[in-house]
Amino acid sequence: MTEADAPHGDVRDGPAADEPPRASSHTPLTRRPRAAVTMHEVAARARVSIKTVSNVINGYPHIRPATKERVEKAIQDLGYKVNASARNLRRGRAGVIGLALPELALPYFAELADEVMKAAERHGVSVLIEHTGAQRSREFDVLRSDRRSLTDGLLFSPLEMAQDDVGALTVDYPLVLLGERLFGGPVDHVTMATVEGARAATAHLIERGARRIAVIGAHEGEVVGSAALRLNGYRQALKEAGIPMRPELVREAGLWHRSTGADATRQLLDDGVEFDAVFGLNDALALGALHELHQRHVDVPGRVKVIGFDDIEDAAFSAPTLSTISPGKQQIARTAVDFLMERIGTPELLLGPRYVEAAFFVVARESTGG
Amino acid sequence: MTEADAPHGDVRDGPAADEPPRASSHTPLTRRPRAAVTMHEVAARARVSIKTVSNVINGYPHIRPATKERVEKAIQDLGYKVNASARNLRRGRAGVIGLALPELALPYFAELADEVMKAAERHGVSVLIEHTGAQRSREFDVLRSDRRSLTDGLLFSPLEMAQDDVGALTVDYPLVLLGERLFGGPVDHVTMATVEGARAATAHLIERGARRIAVIGAHEGEVVGSAALRLNGYRQALKEAGIPMRPELVREAGLWHRSTGADATRQLLDDGVEFDAVFGLNDALALGALHELHQRHVDVPGRVKVIGFDDIEDAAFSAPTLSTISPGKQQIARTAVDFLMERIGTPELLLGPRYVEAAFFVVARESTGG
DNA sequence: TTGTAGGCGTTATCAG
DNA sequence: CTGATAACGCCTACAA
């Protein structure tokens, strides 16, 4: 490709640039600004009424085969496509659901979005993704946004709203809540058994012989939310094993990124605190810990065992591979989409909010000794 | 949270489940199936014509303040929201652009999508994401999908279509091509200077003393596409340095995942081929290589240096951290969205297809000795 | 500065 | 089985 030899950042005209820019209506240019074909035109060409065309398109069963064929040919010939705006206006339905999440660049959410899109496809609807950037104000915005009228309902995964904000979830469109940030709202809620998951993670470390288990990613003062719930599970597991909880082993990390996980681990090491395991409250934190431990030549799992939470794809490919808790992402996505579509399909559904916790399982890998 | 103590996978009714399911019109239930408020109702309440309401909403400047205020109050009181379907139908514009890519779970695409969404926001439009699953047939589907009528234009990142398929890009809606799979089509195309990037990556390894540079991720028989172009850059760099190209150092990997990168590296080691560097044609492959080298206790960068391509976030947090080529993801996203919006805004734009290559830079990290 | 009258492309109703 | 015709909610001329 000679194109690829151009200097970087260059802007050039492509192959068709030398065509005369005459405005003749049939210039075989990039694109004809021809108005879209409508049902009327199809109907005219097929010599039927517009209603018949509609019937054919919507698979209405009782149509004479000959008619149907004629219509289909006309559609082909004219390259007719239904106009979604018109259809939606008429049907009062957009065929699109919204998915509001913090950031696609966070692997957990990218993988969740992936599953949501697959689930949506099974229902024949599209997904409009919106970022909140993990900003509280934008989480509120999303709930009231003009974009809501582009969608029939919303899957909402807040990260910054607090329990007090649960009132904001009272909206006049179908809404399904995801995650562990808000509970008891007036909407369907799909999440995972977080406390148990964290308990199982901690128990796994204990079972492998760990006794001084550091945990990173705590959020001081939080009472619900992933951090609080997972920390809870950690506490429960320690208690069950009769291991005292040592505050110096609990480390904060505001954003759950690798960098903050590495930072927390660095401090742990610098502070000279003794520990034989690290529980990263999510995989990114745990991977950051793995990174830092490697830098300091601390043997994993020999001297320190590490476990994460979320089972993102990377966990299987770090060195050493990372043990983690696998939440049922697919189950969560499917259930959430099912609920949403059910609410959309039957707005008169007088059914109280549902609450579902997806199952999880422990994935034991090298970082805890396989 | 007591909720979290429920058995996994449990489905339960939430707090409001005990409310009597009476169908009284004002039951403060989850959602009132009340029909949406229309402009007419707002107009009636504000005692103005529907046109005035429209004017207020669309920021028409010449409105008496008192009138405007009255209308705004009515909108507030009634909770009026414009109906996007109706507006779109009327305006012939959806305010939504499509983004078709292989898979969000691939970090590069997640990060790209993230940037595209940010760029779209600057233009006030939403993004409808569609998966192709890197399946050729679905790539064609996306171009002709019914969903196209939900969007004003499409950003398309194919991975499997071949150069011969370039004809399929002749469509009657604004389309901007991304990536390195198809060239010379009748549409705007935004990509990066791949060949140069790969050449720079290889040159970087050579500069660091490498002479037997393995490359993983080749696609036999491919002439365009990321694999072919990057391999090209590799060849050029070797040639420039006067280093002979050794076929046994070039390894295939169909899917560019970590696992395939690890596999290719394993074979390389098992075959007893001597090499002092690995160029992964993308970061996932390189990270897979890193993983495998670690497993085999091969010192990186001491004995083998490794470089990747794409600069995904993980590259900065692997152990050791991964050197890579950083494409201008943000520049690509912005340019692509700008082009698309320009085409959408001026359909009569008689401008030949544009071709842009975004700039890149080399990110030197530990895996090549810093 | 505001009101009236259509029509955007579809689907639903209801005859024929 | 198929054809008129009336909405769906909004916007844009054109009038007033």
**Rounded to whole angstroms, how far apart are CA atoms A225 and A355?**
16
DSSP H or E run through A138: helix A136-144
Same domain, B132 and B160: yes
* CA-based R_g, chain B, Å: 27
Considering the domain architecture, whether residues A296 and A318 belong to the same structural domain is answered as yes
Residues B199 and B294 in one domain: yes
- Among the partner-chain residues A8, A103, A294, the one whose CB lies closest to the CB of B196 is A8
d(CA A11, CA B190): 9
Q: Which residues contact B153 (CB under 8 A, 6 or more apart)?
A: B97, B98, B173, B174, B175, B176, B340, B341, B343, B344
pLDDT at A6 over 60: no
Of all nucleotides, the one whose C1′ comes closest to residue A149's CA is D9
Say whether both B143 and B252 belong to one domain. no
User: Locate tokens 């995904």: which residue?
Assistant: B312
Q: Is residue B107 located within the same domain as residue B231?
A: no
Whether A232 maps to a domain, the answer reads yes
- Taking the Cβ of residue A110 and every Cβ of chain B, the question of whether any pair is shorter than 8 Å is answered with yes
**CA separation for the pair A299, A73 (Å, rounded):** 70
Angstrom distance (rounded) from CA A275 to CA A149 = 52
Q: Is B364 among the domain residues?
A: no
Range ranked top by mean pLDDT from A30-44, A81-95, A303-317, B61-75: A303-317
Give me the domain span that covers residue A71: 39-82
- Of A31, A62, A82, which residue sits at a domain end? A82
Q: Tabulate helix, strand, coil % of chain B (nearest 5).
A: 45, 15, 40
Rounded mean pLDDT of A207-212?
Answer: 97
B257, B178, B157, B128: which is closest to A113 by C-alpha? B128
Answer yes or no: is A154 within a domain: yes
> Are residue A198 and residue A318 in the same domain, yes or no?
yes
Angle at A198 between CA A197 and CA A201, to 5 degrees: 90
Residue B369 domain flag: no
Considering only CB atoms, A8 lies closest to which of B3, B229, B357, namely: B357
| Domain shared by A339 and A275, yes or no | no
* Pairwise CB contact (< 8 Å): B5 & A86: no
Rg (CA), chain A: 27
Secondary element (H or E) of residue B258: helix B258-270
| Contact (CB<8Å) B84/A94 | yes
Say yes or no: B140 and B75 in one domain.
no
Highest mean pLDDT among A163-172, A348-357, B181-190, B200-209: B200-209
Q: State which amino acid sits at residue A260.
A: T
Same-domain status, B198 and B322:
yes
- Residue with the larger pLDDT of the pair A279 and A105: A279
Q: Give residue A45's pLDDT.
A: 87
Residue by residue, pLDDT tens for chain B (370 residues) are 333 333 333 333 333 332 222 222 222 222 333 467 888 888 888 888 888 889 888 888 788 888 888 888 888 888 888 888 888 888 888 889 999 999 998 889 999 999 999 999 999 899 999 999 889 999 999 998 888 888 999 999 999 898 899 999 999 899 999 999 888 999 999 999 999 999 999 999 999 999 999 999 999 988 888 999 999 999 999 999 999 999 999 999 988 888 899 999 999 999 999 999 999 999 999 999 999 999 899 999 999 999 999 999 889 988 889 999 999 999 999 999 999 999 998 877 778 899 999 999 999 999 999 7
Q: Do the Cβ atoms of A313 and B258 come within 8 Å?
A: yes
SS3 state of residue B209: coil
Which phi and psi angles does A359 have, rounded to 5°? Answer: -75, 160
C-alpha B39/C-alpha B41 separation (Å) is 5
Q: What is the pLDDT of residues A288-346, one digit of tens each?
A: 999 999 989 999 999 999 999 999 988 998 888 999 999 999 999 999 999 999 999 88
With respect to residue B11, please indicate whether it lies within any of the assigned structural domains. Answer: no
CATH of residue B288's domain is 3.40.50.2300
pLDDT digits (tens, 9 = 90+) for A55-77: 888 888 778 888 888 888 888 88
- The model's pLDDT over A247-271, given as tens digits with 9 standing for 90+, comes to 999 999 988 888 899 999 999 999 9
Three-state DSSP at B323 gives strand
- What is each CA distance from A143 to A118, A137, A161, in whole angstroms? 23, 10, 12
End-to-end CA distance of chain B: 47
Residue B14 is assigned to a structural domain of this protein: no
Chain B window 349-368: which residues touch A at a Cβ cutoff of 8 Å? Answer: 350-360
Inter-residue contact B155 to B130 (CB < 8 Å):
no
| Single-letter amino acid, residue A35 | A
Task: With beta carbons under 8 A apart, name residues in chain B contacting A126.
Answer: 128, 130, 147, 150
Q: Are B56 and B154 part of one and the same domain?
A: no
Cβ A216 vs Cβ A281: under 8 Å: yes
Interface residue B235 vs chain A (CB under 8 A):
no
Residue B31 inside a domain? The answer is no
B16 touches strand D (CB under 7 A): no
What CATH number does residue B75 fall under? 1.10.260.40
Rounded distance, CA B266 to CA B272, Å? 10
Residue A35 is predicted with a pLDDT of 63
The burial class, CB within 10 Å (0-12 / 13-18 / 19+), for B299 is exposed
- B22 strand C contact, CB < 7 Å: no
* Strand D nucleotides, any atom under 7 Å to a protein CB: 1-5, 7-13
Interface test with A, best of B115, B126, B130, B325 (most A CBs within 10 A): B126
Q: Are residues A203 and A263 in the same domain?
A: yes
Tens-place pLDDT, residues A269-291: 999 999 999 999 999 999 999 99
Count of domains forming chain A? 3
A128 and A110, same structural domain? yes
**Calpha distance A363→A365 (Å, rounded):** 6
Element (H, E) at A100: strand A96-101
Furthest CA-CA distance within chain A: 86
- The domain boundary residue, chosen from B22, B52, B82: B82
Residue A151 scores a pLDDT above 70: yes
pLDDT class for A36, splitting at 50, 70, 90?
Answer: confident
* Residue B225, domain member (yes or no): yes
Sign of CA dihedral A37, A40, A46, A51: positive
